[in-house]
Amino acid sequence: MSFLLRNIARYAAQKLAADPRVRDAAARGARVALEEGKRIAAEENRAYAAGQALGRALHKLRGDR
Protein backbone atom coordinates (compact mmCIF):
# COMPACT_ATOMS: atom_id res chain seq x y z
CA MET A 1 0.00 0.00 0.00
CA SER A 2 2.77 2.44 0.86
CA PHE A 3 4.46 1.62 -2.46
CA LEU A 4 1.32 2.72 -4.31
CA LEU A 5 1.00 5.90 -2.26
CA ARG A 6 4.67 6.69 -2.82
CA ASN A 7 4.27 6.34 -6.57
CA ILE A 8 1.17 8.53 -6.54
CA ALA A 9 3.04 11.19 -4.54
CA ARG A 10 5.98 11.03 -6.95
CA TYR A 11 3.68 11.40 -9.95
CA ALA A 12 1.93 14.39 -8.35
CA ALA A 13 5.27 16.02 -7.54
CA GLN A 14 6.41 15.62 -11.14
CA LYS A 15 3.20 17.20 -12.43
CA LEU A 16 3.59 20.08 -9.97
CA ALA A 17 7.14 20.70 -11.11
CA ALA A 18 6.16 20.72 -14.80
CA ASP A 19 3.47 23.44 -14.72
CA PRO A 20 4.47 26.91 -13.43
CA ARG A 21 0.90 27.94 -12.57
CA VAL A 22 0.31 24.80 -10.53
CA ARG A 23 3.73 25.19 -8.91
CA ASP A 24 2.83 28.73 -7.80
CA ALA A 25 -0.52 27.54 -6.42
CA ALA A 26 1.23 24.75 -4.49
CA ALA A 27 3.73 27.24 -3.05
CA ARG A 28 0.87 29.51 -1.97
CA GLY A 29 -0.86 26.54 -0.34
CA ALA A 30 2.33 25.60 1.50
CA ARG A 31 2.66 29.15 2.84
CA VAL A 32 -0.93 29.09 4.10
CA ALA A 33 -0.33 25.72 5.76
CA LEU A 34 2.82 27.10 7.41
CA GLU A 35 0.90 30.10 8.76
CA GLU A 36 -1.82 27.81 10.14
CA GLY A 37 0.85 25.64 11.76
CA LYS A 38 2.38 28.65 13.45
CA ARG A 39 -1.05 29.74 14.67
CA ILE A 40 -1.74 26.26 16.09
CA ALA A 41 1.67 26.07 17.78
CA ALA A 42 1.16 29.44 19.47
CA GLU A 43 -2.18 28.47 21.06
CA GLU A 44 -2.53 27.14 24.59
CA ASN A 45 -5.10 24.54 23.50
CA ARG A 46 -3.56 23.11 20.32
CA ALA A 47 -6.32 20.58 19.68
CA TYR A 48 -8.92 23.37 19.66
CA ALA A 49 -6.74 25.50 17.39
CA ALA A 50 -6.26 22.58 14.99
CA GLY A 51 -10.02 22.07 14.87
CA GLN A 52 -10.53 25.75 14.12
CA ALA A 53 -7.96 25.59 11.31
CA LEU A 54 -9.69 22.54 9.85
CA GLY A 55 -13.02 24.34 10.01
CA ARG A 56 -11.57 27.36 8.21
CA ALA A 57 -10.16 25.09 5.50
CA LEU A 58 -13.47 23.28 5.03
CA HIS A 59 -15.41 26.53 4.82
CA LYS A 60 -12.96 27.83 2.26
CA LEU A 61 -13.29 24.68 0.16
CA ARG A 62 -17.07 24.88 0.27
CA GLY A 63 -17.01 28.56 -0.60
CA ASP A 64 -18.80 29.62 2.59
CA ARG A 65 -16.20 32.27 3.31
Residue pLDDT, tens place only, 7-59: 888 888 888 888 889 889 888 988 988 999 999 999 999 999 999 999 988 89
The reported pLDDT for the residue numbered 45 is 93
pTM for the model stands at 0.61
How high is the pLDDT of residue 35? 92
Measured distance CA(30)–CA(15) in Å, rounded: 16
As a residue count, the chain comes to 65
**What pLDDT does 17 receive?**
84
The residue extents of the domains of the chain are 25-65
pLDDT, position 52: 92
